[in-house]
Amino acid sequence: MPNHPPMQMAMKKSDPAHSFPLPPPISIKAFWRIALLCCTLVAISPPAQAQFDTLRDLVPETLHQTLFGTDAYQVVFEGDLDAGLRDVLRSVSESHALRNRLPATDQMFERRARADIPNLLRALRSEGYYDGRIEAHVDPQASPPQITFRVQPGPAYLLQAVHFHGPDSEEGFAFPPPSPATAGLALGSRARAPEVLGGKDKFREYLRENGHPFPWVALREARVDHESRTLVVTYTFNPGPLARFGPVTVEGAERVLPRYILDKIPWSANQPFQPSQLQRLRATLMQTGLFTMVDVFHPGSMPDASGNNELPVTISVVERVPRTVKAGLGYETDTGLGTALEWEHRNILGSGEQLRTRLHLAEKKQMFEGEFQVPEFPDPSQSLTIQGNIGQETTDALEKKEVGAGAMINRRLDRFWSVGLGTNFRYSEVTQLGETETYGLISTPGELTWDMRDHVLNPTRGWRIQLRAEPFMDTLEWNTTFFKLSGSLSAYLPILAEERLILAGRGALGSITGEANMNLPPDQRFYAGGGGSIRGYAYQSIGPEVDGKVVGGKSMVEVGTELRLRLENNIGLVAFLDGGQVFSETELQFQDDFLWGAGLGLRYHLDFGPIRLDVAFPLNRRNKDSAFQVYVSIGQAY
């Protein structure tokens, strides 16, 4: 697959008249040491200290004032406490919450500490420690003053039994006898009050999920036995009437056909009521992109006329405006000054069919693209995409004029796995090294994708793996056949709380078999460099060369890693390292030196994704490489 440039803006500084002295090159290891230090200092700076108390405790005392500032006094919890219990005690402690305000007198300081003991004892009991003891020691003369709570939690009380009192199952209730797991509890576990209280809601949802939409559940008793150090919990309940899904009504549909909405219903006629099916339907309808609001609900009680226990359901929708027009003006080093115009219709035939067109006009690239997507073709888990393009492009590696068309059927195997199979035809004239060749390529691409990311434009956890295989044949020269295989991986790992610091990584491999390198169409060879590849190097500037000109290769490898720090006010900072190489042979030549690029980036986070600004420097700078490049786009680099 050709290495198309992403939406980016690259700015070069290579004019000798405006040159400036560069610092001596730094090693990759030294670069990452500096980047990690900068990100760590920002992450634990005073504005974020409330969210990183655990991290503060690990910092040497001599660095506290420099990194965090100074509290009016310190609060210390001593004793055999795990991290979770220590956090609970901090969360309920008034002394800890007010540590930036020192009381006016020593007596008031001591009263504040002693008044905290009942709160802390209640917190211990809520966590299953009913024999706990706490002593408060105040030292107003220390520097800074200090409150020390010496905590003896004692042995943990365990959950011995869970009872459920309600009508007998002989009356016809359609659910199996409840167990402790029904309320989210486990016998022998620590008797935590939040889990016992939360068991009411879980048991209520269990009854609703088993066909009883209007249950009543209460915590009747939680009896503590201090001799055996155990807790016995009793819930009382009345499941209410058994219900089945009844007639469905659609409200608010104007341009979307009601039948299209009704076809999305996941339950069958006379199926027992399940609230999860309502949520599933709502999520399915929202994923179509046709609605700004979807509400799926039922009456608050069984209708009087429902002799067969049918519960009617209403689907209320608010449709999105189906048409969108976008326009943009920008500058890219690779394509020059240009504009992009887009038009989209998300419901052109009334059943979610989408038509998109895009016109890109720039100094070095002129392209018109169209795409028509048919959902549920013919199965709800499949879609058909028909696309076409016509245009021309000029890069440092080649010049191309192209007309193309294709179709692909995509099938979602489950929530995370999908496959695609299609066919494409491209007619192109490509000029490289002063020679122009004409190609009529037909191909049948196949894709397999495993996507576990939590967000498309701004992922913070998970991974995405994609494999693509595409055999080609030149219809103008039947002897020219080749097979192109590529794969990519991106992964994301949150490091600090609230996903403020993310470690991201990517890798890509590709190989072509069947023809010698120079017999392949130039626009189908592999190239590297640019904002979506190895940052710091110009677009398509990395690869095998002939007479000093990059001609592309038969295999490639790329790797990259980023450290992403999110600050206050939707601002983010990034340190990154990219590397890779393109080879003239089918096999990867790992003995060849990789080219590395590194830099820093700025992010401004919006609801749909971040605006990205990256400044990258080539660490293995060649004579033709600029001192740095700048990239501007929407969404993370990967």
Distances (CA, A) of 299 to 216, 243, 248, 334: 16, 12, 12, 60
- The model's confidence at residue 497, banded by pLDDT at 50, 70 and 90, is confident
Q: Which tens digits make up the pLDDT trace of 34-84?
A: 344 444 433 333 333 334 444 455 445 444 444 445 678 999 999 999 988
Is the separation of the CB atoms in 391 and 366 below 8 Å? Answer: yes
**Range list of β-strands (E), 276-364:** 291-297, 310-319, 323-332, 336-345, 354-362
Give the pLDDT mean for 241-262.
92
State the DSSP string of 181-196.
GGGT--TTSB--HHHH
Question: What is the pLDDT, as a whole number, of residue 171?
Answer: 54
Cα radius of gyration (the chain) = 32
Is the separation of the CB atoms in 626 and 537 below 8 Å? Answer: no
**β-pairing verdict for 310-319 and 323-332:** unpaired
What's the CA gap between 225 and 227, in Å, rounded? 6
Question: What is the pLDDT, as a whole number, of residue 14?
Answer: 34
Alpha helix (H) residue ranges in 311-377: none
Which H/E stretch holds residue 85? helix 83-92
Is the separation of the CB atoms in 556 and 509 below 8 Å? Answer: yes
Place of tokens 């020269």: 477
CB neighbourhood size of 563 (10 A): 20
Q: Which residues 6+ apart lie within 8 Å of 280 measured at CB?
A: 266
The answer to whether residue 418 scores a pLDDT higher than 60 is: yes
Q: Which residues 6+ apart lie within 8 Å of 251 measured at CB?
A: 314, 315, 316, 317
What's the CA gap between 345 and 272, in Å, rounded? 38
Q: Which CATH class is domain 1-40+414-638?
A: mainly beta
- The model's confidence at residue 103, banded by pLDDT at 50, 70 and 90, is very high
Local structure of 158: helix, strand or coil: strand
Amino acid identity of 352?
Answer: G
Reading the block at residue 625, the tokens are 């490489």
- The model's confidence at residue 588, banded by pLDDT at 50, 70 and 90, is confident
Q: Give bridge partners of residue 571 from the DSSP assignment.
A: 604
Q: Which tens digits make up the pLDDT trace of 176-196?
A: 888 999 999 999 999 999 999
Q: What is the mean pLDDT of the chain?
A: 85
State the DSSP string of 20-67.
-PPPPP--HHHHHHHHHHHHHHHHTSGGGGGG-HHHHHHS-HHHHHHH
Closest C-alpha to 627, from 638, 610, 615, 612: 615
Question: What is the pLDDT, as a whole number, of residue 452?
Answer: 94
Is the separation of the CB atoms in 390 and 400 below 8 Å? Answer: no
Report DSSP state, residue 458. S
Domain ranges within the chain, ordered by starting residue: 1-40+414-638, 44-152, 244-319
Least confident of 41-45, 103-107, 339-343, 531-535: 41-45
Q: Which residues 6+ apart lie within 8 Å of 252 measured at CB?
A: 316, 317, 318, 319
What's the CA gap between 564 and 39, in Å, rounded? 8
The answer to whether residue 459 scores a pLDDT higher than 50 is: yes
26 or 133, which is more confident = 133
Give the pLDDT mean for 120-137.
95
Question: What percentage of the chain exceeds 70 in pLDDT?
Answer: 86
State the angle between helix axes of 117-126 and 83-92 in degrees (0 to 180), rounded to the nearest 10.
140
Least confident of 63-72, 385-394, 553-562, 616-625: 63-72
Give the pLDDT mean for 288-307.
86
Distance, CA of 264 to chain centre: 26
Per CATH, the number for 44-152 is 3.10.20.310
Burial class (CB in 10 A: 0-12, 13-18, 19+), 281: buried
**Range list of β-strands (E), 140-290:** 146-152, 158-165, 216-225, 230-238, 244-251
Is the separation of the CB atoms in 457 and 608 below 8 Å? Answer: yes
Local structure of 525: helix, strand or coil: coil
CB neighbourhood size of 443 (10 A): 19
Give the pLDDT mean for 308-327.
90
Per CATH, the number for 244-319 is 3.10.20.310
Give the pLDDT mean for 9-17.
34
Q: Give bridge partners of residue 369 from the DSSP assignment.
A: 358, 389
Least confident of 25-34, 391-400, 495-504: 25-34
Same CATH fold assignment for domains 1-40+414-638 and 44-152: no
Distances (CA, A) of 508 to 405, 529, 556, 582: 26, 13, 8, 11
The answer to whether residue 430 scores a pLDDT higher than 60 is: yes
Give the pLDDT mean for 530-541.
89
| pTM summary value | 0.66
